[in-house]
A and B are shown apart, each in its own frame.
Chain A
Amino acid sequence: MIAIDDISALSSHYDLVVVGAGPAGLSAAARAADLGLSVLLADENPAPGGQIYRAVTTTPVVQRDILGEDYWLGAGIAARFERSVASYAARCTVWALGPDETSPGAFELGLSLGSKARMISAAQVILATGAQERPFPIPGWTLPGVMTAGAAQIALKSAGIVPAGRTAIAGCGPLLYLLAGQLAAAGTEIVAVLDTTPRANWAKALAALPDFLRSPYLAKGLKLMAKARRSLRFVSGVTGLAAQGDRQLSGVRIVRGSTAETLACDTLLLHQGVIPSVNLASAAGCALDFDETQHAFVPRVDAWFASSVGGIAIAGDGAGIGGAESAALRGEIAAFDAARKLGRLSEAERDRQAAPFQAELTRRLRGRRFLDLLYKPAAQFLAPPADETIVCRCEEVTAGQVRDAASRLGVTGPNQMKAFLRCGMGPCQGRLCGPTVVELIAQTRGTTPAETGYYRLRPPVKPVTLAELAALPPTDEATKAVVR
């Protein structure tokens, strides 16, 4: 691995640029470099691992069993990447991806590192931008003291810090139970695990149960669940949540059917599954489809994870949630195909080398459907019923405002909604409100998320300063455009 600390040390062109250093990106970059491609792996974070293997090479957590053996698998993936000849730019933000006007079929990428921007080109691109937590809009979720369960896990992995006071964990999904176990092992005082899994989901998930029973998820899941249920106060059947407090969290109101109680706590961790991070893919023009099972917009990809834009592949959870092990396999498979497209592998050779990874991927994804169906969030946590609930955290737009604009003003989609309410126009660029705004519009108008569509996303997908853009070397075309 060649570490790039200064943006001037980047080559102006790579065979392949991989975005994101989680399991998919690390595996794709290492495989492609081994196949003889010139590879750059760009990642925003200070160290490899993505979120699931966050800080796996640098974590201050010394007691290995706190994070569990699955976490440490990431060390092997990172070590293999470090042995490769790929270039690696940490703390590097990719804020634009589009066609390279000077070279047909190639791509131009805008990158920032150390407060300096640069444009480089690539023949092939693999986006391994992973997943983010599904927004969990409840009244009071903007109060300091409320954060995502994933955030607490990142704090634990990367900084060895844990919530200091009484901590409640609310939501549903395998990661919720994993985190509860990890935090408890690390010494956090967990006052309750508030499970919002709708009871009706069990019936829907039942058809997918046989596959789950034969899947690698089963043993892992049962262990997590048993551990959390054994040692923690577990409240199931939660149908409503509200964070309470004045300028800071003081408690959480819990509704279970017709009964309600308030639980005092200092930290409330929210989680209702993860969804693909689609901003960069979508801004690059990759088509998205609404996946009903995962209940999220997912980029359209083929069996090699090629997107609808020729030359851009999407590997890992960014192309649909499959988990860490499957992400690494999808990275490998996308890299074989990139080598084939660049003429470094014949089609037959690509197929032969990728076959064992594809077989293992099929095995790894078995049982996923059961989890997706069982942990699909309840309608009231996707589209908050209380009008005062903030939906767009950046611009402080409420659920009531969105509903009102959709019904009274007849706003039909999220892009029109932006023009009326500014939702999605703050610094997070819709990452924390997009799914909820779509859900609210669909619900109000009696349509579906698929029909409602998603925000139109454009570069820069991450903020970049004007000073950085102004310092970019001018191209001949740019000069000609303004000099007469």
Chain B
Amino acid sequence: MFRPMRERAASATLAFSFDGQPLTGRAGDTVAAALLANGIVACRETPVSGSPRAPYCLMGVCFECLVVIDGVGNRQGCLVPLAEGMRIETQHGRRQFGEDAA
């Protein structure tokens, strides 16, 4: 959905995964920006109808970018900086019990 612009300041590259798929992102980006830059279309499915949703406002207001990060559900992807080795997953509907039991 998004791509890096032609001229962009160099930054370290971070490895992370989305639903098990290995991806890379730019250090300094948020989780939501990293997903958009990798062409990820949807990051969650709604609790009511299960319809796919993607980041909408990128400023912490809309809560559409909710994802599971390292086992913890309901994280706002647009406010969490990407970190090396992060395990990011689609949030399917409501947060499930026991997800972050560890």
Contacts and interface: CB of A to CB of B under 8 A. Distances in A.
A151 B30 contact: no
Interface residues of B, number: 42
B5 A396 contact: no
Contacts of A248: 41-42, 52
Contacts of B57: 132-133, 147-148, 150-151, 432
7 contacts: A142-B51, A147-B55, A155-B58, A159-B37, A160-B9, A395-B48, A427-B74
A396 B48 contact: yes
A63 interface: yes
A247 interface: yes
B49 interface: yes
Size bin of chain A's contact surface: 35 or more
A426 interface: yes
Interface string A241-267: 000000110000000000000000011
Main secondary structure of the interface of B (DSSP, over half): loop
Contacts of A46: 30, 81
Contacts of B46: 396
A431 interface: yes
B1 A428 contact: no
Interface stretch (A54-62, A68-76, A219-227, A365-373): A54-62
Q: Which 4 A-B pairs have the closest CB atoms?
A: A144-B54, A160-B8, A159-B33, A427-B63
Interface string A261-280: 00000110000000001000
Given A155-B58, A158-B33, A144 B42 contact: yes
Contacts of B37: 159, 161
B5 A154 contact: no
A8 to B, nearest CB: 20
Contacts of A60: 8-9, 11, 26, 28
A91 B60 CA distance: 11
A154 B61 contact: no
B61 A431 contact: yes
Contacts of B28: 58, 60, 159
A297 to B, nearest CB: 15
B12 to A, nearest CB: 12
B30 to A, nearest CB: 7
A133 to B, nearest CB: 7
